[in-house]
């Protein structure tokens, strides 16, 4: 009987020892050999990973503008853009060429001046009154060589009053346009110049 009991205890001990080995001998969690190779040491065909610069494609849009001009602030820019929009629209409708020349590029000025000349030739005058605050949304930004270019979508509602040979007229308008502003990043002058005007969907 004692021999049978010893055999039973020995068998139980063997089962317990096997289970302990199965648990303690198993790898739990991430092992040192499982760690991925550090990114800095990953090399393909003996070439080191390239370094990115401000001019790389990876740095574009607002990031590129801020990289060259850390003081650039989007909200401040859009606030100034709204003011420029109203000022330019008023100067255009009143035929103020001097004000326009300081705010727009020569190419844009040619188009404005042609429209002003035609209006004067027709004997008409025009004034404008904004009915709602102008909405300005940043659409696109990029750095092209030394120039930062930012496209803004403007949505304006205003009342135009015209006088001409045919009499007086009042016209309430709702317009949507894309205006592109540009500024040399190497210049200390903070003024942005209007370089392009395009129609946009309302």
3-class state of residue 1 by DSSP: coil
What residues contact residue 199 under an 8 Å CB cut-off, 6+ apart? 176, 177, 178
Range 11-26 average pLDDT:
40
Is residue 148 a contact partner of residue 68, using CB atoms and an 8 Å limit?
Answer: yes
**Closest CA relative to residue 142, chosen from 50, 53, 55:** 55
d(CA 157, CA 133): 8
What residue has token string 């370089």? 195
Within 10 angstroms of residue 183's Cβ, the number of other Cβ atoms is: 21
The 10s digit of each residue's pLDDT in 133-152 is 999 999 999 999 899 999 99
In angstroms, the CA 201 to CA 170 distance is: 23
Single pTM value for the model: 0.69
* pLDDT tens per residue, range 103-142: 999 999 999 999 999 999 999 999 999 999 999 999 999 9
| Structural domains of the chain sorted by starting position, each given as residue range(s) with its CATH number in brackets | 61-123+134-157+177-199 (3.10.450.240)
């Amino acid at each position: 009987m004692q021999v049978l009991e010893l055999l039973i205890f020995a068998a139980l001990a063997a089962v317990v020892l096997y289970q302990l080995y199965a648990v303690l001998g198993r790898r739990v969690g991430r092992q040192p050999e499982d760690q991925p190779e550090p990114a800095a040491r990953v090399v393909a065909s003996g070439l080191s990973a390239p370094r990115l610069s401000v001019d790389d494609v990876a740095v574009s849009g607002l990031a590129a503008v801020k990289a060259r001009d850390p003081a650039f602030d989007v909200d401040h820019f859009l606030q100034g853009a709204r003011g420029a929009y109203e000022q330019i629209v008023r100067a255009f409708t009143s035929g103020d060429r001097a004000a326009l020349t300081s705010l727009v590029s020569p190419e844009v000025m040619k188009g404005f001046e042609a429209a002003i000349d035609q209006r004067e030739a027709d004997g008409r005058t025009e004034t404008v009154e904004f009915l709602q605050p102008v909405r300005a949304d940043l659409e696109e930004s990029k750095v092209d060589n030394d120039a930062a270019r930012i496209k803004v979508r403007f949505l304006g509602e205003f009342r135009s009053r015209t006088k001409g040979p045919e009499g007086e007229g009042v016209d309430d308008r709702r317009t949507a346009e894309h205006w592109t502003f540009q500024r040399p990043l190497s210049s200390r002058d903070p003024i942005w110049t209007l370089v392009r005007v395009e129609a946009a969907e309302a």
